[in-house]
């Protein structure tokens, strides 16, 4: 019976890993393909606007809608909050993200920093990403209910359809603003599909074994209190991650924005690959922590860190050896107008990829700190990193251009990883002493 139970559990992990990997990998590749497609079809200026709007500002607004709540929701194994409460809360944060987009982009347009054309396109791409952030509440709940594979399937299908639609629409219309608008509307349609899929998988109600859609009066404020530091931490995290991109956007040209976005793409893939290695094990880490199983908890952490470390070293070596070839291939894919635009940035390319691997390690430590509920300390690490990035990134870009942006990015990732690693080491050592004393 025990052997059968272990086999069943291993099968679940394998299925979760397979579909989560497929969905996450396609999601990462779709972002790259879309950026290449827009730059090839529309040219450097539109390509730069799309790259910044989709992967930087749009993703920042995704973070506002997402509110950093997924790690909290998927590790809420005791059901402190219902799915209905998470869903209502995510609706409020999504509306907040849309309001922030309007204020920020409207302000830059009013100050003359953005043209109306650029502001509109970035705003529509932000709306696309906000819908993404709201839909994540369903994916998070499926994972909490032990169906991470379903999240991966839905992500795979939605990404394939939306990316294909975007490329077809842009190819037919040659109008980036119209394509962004129609794609954002398609994302809204998928939210209805997610709701129906949840209804198929679970009887939506309040009985045992069903997803609880109830929303108890007054639960939004306690949920906000439990997660607001997580939100600020994730928001600052992405700001630190993107500070070099913001500096390039405001100090260099839209074409430079596009070049830096292309250089940045492989590191996003590294992070996402590491993330879908980590995510399937988060619920099991939370269970091990709740059971005070220090041996199991530590074993999982060591294996995950080893995988991420190995991936980072391998990616760094390959980027140094094959970087010129890869950048030349990128230039050929983008078209003759990009000839010689990327190959001078081999060093920047390597630094960015190493930074991506370091960022993946920082996120593993972040998840561990979330599980042991050290939100306040997470926030202080991110706040220190954001303060450093706010002053250092613009200075680095102003002094050294794209090379300075790449170097500053890697340094910021080192600061985050070192800070989280020190906190994890200290708290887990204290936890182990406490658990050992309780067993005695």
Distance of alpha carbon 55 from its chain centroid, rounded?
A: 10
Give me the percent of the chain exceeding a pLDDT of 90. 37
User: How sure is the predictor about 363, in pLDDT bands with cuts at 50, 70 and 90?
Assistant: confident
Q: Which residues of 306-342 are buried (b: 16+ CB within 10 A; e: fewer)?
A: ebbeebbeebbeebeeebeebbeebbeebeeebeebb
**What distance in Å separates the CA atoms of residue 151 and residue 124, rounded to the nearest whole number?**
25
Neighbours of 73 (CB within 10 A): 23
What tokens does 156 get? 């795979």
User: How sure is the predictor about 9, in pLDDT bands with cuts at 50, 70 and 90?
Assistant: very low
Give Cα separations from 88 to 59, 93, 225 (angstroms): 21, 9, 15
pLDDT at 115: 93
Grouping H, G, I as helix, E, B as strand and the rest as coil, residue 205 is: strand
pLDDT at 180: 95
User: How sure is the predictor about 202, in pLDDT bands with cuts at 50, 70 and 90?
Assistant: low
What tokens does 369 get? 């700190």
What mean pLDDT, rounded, does the chain reach?
84
CA angle, 297 as apex, 418 and 133 as ends, to 5°? 65
Domain positions in the chain are: 14-216, 232-440
Q: Which of the pair, 84 or 202, is modelled with greater confidence?
A: 84
Identify the residue whose tokens are 């980590």: 278
**What distance in Å separates the CA atoms of residue 283 and residue 143, rounded to the nearest whole number?**
8
Neighbours of 218 (CB within 10 A): 7
Q: Which of the pair, 330 or 206, is modelled with greater confidence?
A: 330
pLDDT at 154: 85
pLDDT at 130: 94
Grouping H, G, I as helix, E, B as strand and the rest as coil, residue 75 is: coil
DSSP label at residue 113: S
Residue 435 has pLDDT above 90, yes or no: no
Q: Which contiguous run of DSSP H or E holds residue 254?
A: helix 254-278
As a dihedral over the C-alpha atoms of residue 309, residue 21, residue 50, residue 184, rounded to 10 degrees, the angle is: -150
**What distance in Å separates the CA atoms of residue 436 and residue 420, rounded to the nearest whole number?**
24
pLDDT at 207: 45
Summarize the confidence of residues 361-383 as an average pLDDT. Answer: 84
- To the nearest 10 degrees (0 to 180), the angle between helices 176-201 and 116-144 is 10
Q: Which contiguous run of DSSP H or E holds residue 336?
A: none
> By C-alpha distance, which of 245, 256, 247, 186 is closest to 39?
256
Neighbours of 430 (CB within 10 A): 11
Summarize the confidence of residues 220-227 as an average pLDDT. Answer: 85
pLDDT digits (tens, 9 = 90+) for 111-162: 998 999 999 999 999 999 999 899 888 888 888 877 778 888 888 888 999 9
**Which pTM value belongs to this model?**
0.80
Grouping H, G, I as helix, E, B as strand and the rest as coil, residue 180 is: helix
pLDDT at 109: 93
Q: Which of the pair, 275 or 157, is modelled with greater confidence?
A: 157
pLDDT at 206: 44
Decide: 363 and 241 in contact? Cβ < 8 Å: no
Decide: 101 and 159 in contact? Cβ < 8 Å: no
**What distance in Å separates the CA atoms of residue 153 and residue 432, rounded to the nearest whole number?**
38
Greatest CA separation for the chain: 71
Decide: 56 and 246 in contact? Cβ < 8 Å: yes
**What distance in Å separates the CA atoms of residue 148 and residue 141, rounded to the nearest whole number?**
9
User: How sure is the predictor about 210, in pLDDT bands with cuts at 50, 70 and 90?
Assistant: low
Mean pLDDT comparison of 8-12, 32-36, 183-187, 313-317, highest-scoring range: 183-187
pLDDT digits (tens, 9 = 90+) for 29-54: 888 889 889 998 998 889 999 999 99
User: How sure is the predictor about 10, in pLDDT bands with cuts at 50, 70 and 90?
Assistant: very low
């Amino acid at each position: 019976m025990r052997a059968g139970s272990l086999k069943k559990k291993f099968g679940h992990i394998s299925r979760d890993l397979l579909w989560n990997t497929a969905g996450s990998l396609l999601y990462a590749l779709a972002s790259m393909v879309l950026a290449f497609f827009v730059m090839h079809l529309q040219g450097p200026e539109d390509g730069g606007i799309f790259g910044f709007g989709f992967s930087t500002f749009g993703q920042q607004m995704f973070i506002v809608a997402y509110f950093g709540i997924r790690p909290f929701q998927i590790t809420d194994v005791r059901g402190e909050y219902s799915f209905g409460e998470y869903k209502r809360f995510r609706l409020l944060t999504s509306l907040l993200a849309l309001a922030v987009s309007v204020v920020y982009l409207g302000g830059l347009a009013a100050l003359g920093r953005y043209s109306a054309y650029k502001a509109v396109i970035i705003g529509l791409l932000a709306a696309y990403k906000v819908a993404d952030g709201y839909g994540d509440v369903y994916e998070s709940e499926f994972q909490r209910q032990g169906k991470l594979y379903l999240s991966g399937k839905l992500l795979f299908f939605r990404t394939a359809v939306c990316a294909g639609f975007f490329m077809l629409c842009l190819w037919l219309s040659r109008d980036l603003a119209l394509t962004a608008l129609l794609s954002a509307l398609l994302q809204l349609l998928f939210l209805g599909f997610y709701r129906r899929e949840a209804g198929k998988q679970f009887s939506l109600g309040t009985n045992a074994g069903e997803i609880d859609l109830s929303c108890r009066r007054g639960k939004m404020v306690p949920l906000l209190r439990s997660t607001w530091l997580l939100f600020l931490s994730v928001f600052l995290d992405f700001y630190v991650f993107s500070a070099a991109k913001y500096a390039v956007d405001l100090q260099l040209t839209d074409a430079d924005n596009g070049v830096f976005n292309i250089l940045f793409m492989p590191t996003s893939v590294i992070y996402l690959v590491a993330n879908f290695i980590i995510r399937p094990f988060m619920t099991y880490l939370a269970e091990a922590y709740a059971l005070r199983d220090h041996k199991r908890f530590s074993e999982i952490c060591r294996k995950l860190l080893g995988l991420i470390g190995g991936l980072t070293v391998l990616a760094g070596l390959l980027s140094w050896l094959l970087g010129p070839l890869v950048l030349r291939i990128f230039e050929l894919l983008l078209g003759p107008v990009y000839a010689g635009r990327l190959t001078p940035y081999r060093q920047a390319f390597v630094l960015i990829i190493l930074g991506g691997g370091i960022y993946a390690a920082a996120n593993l430590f972040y998840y561990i700190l979330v599980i042991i509920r050290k939100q306040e300390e997470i926030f202080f690490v991110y706040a220190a990193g954001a303060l450093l990035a706010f002053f250092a990134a613009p200075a680095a870009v102003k002094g050294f251009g794209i090379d300075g942006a790449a170097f500053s990015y890697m340094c910021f990732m080192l600061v985050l990883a070192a800070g989280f690693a020190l906190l994890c080491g200290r708290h887990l050592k204290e936890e182990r002493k406490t658990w050992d004393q309780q067993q005695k």
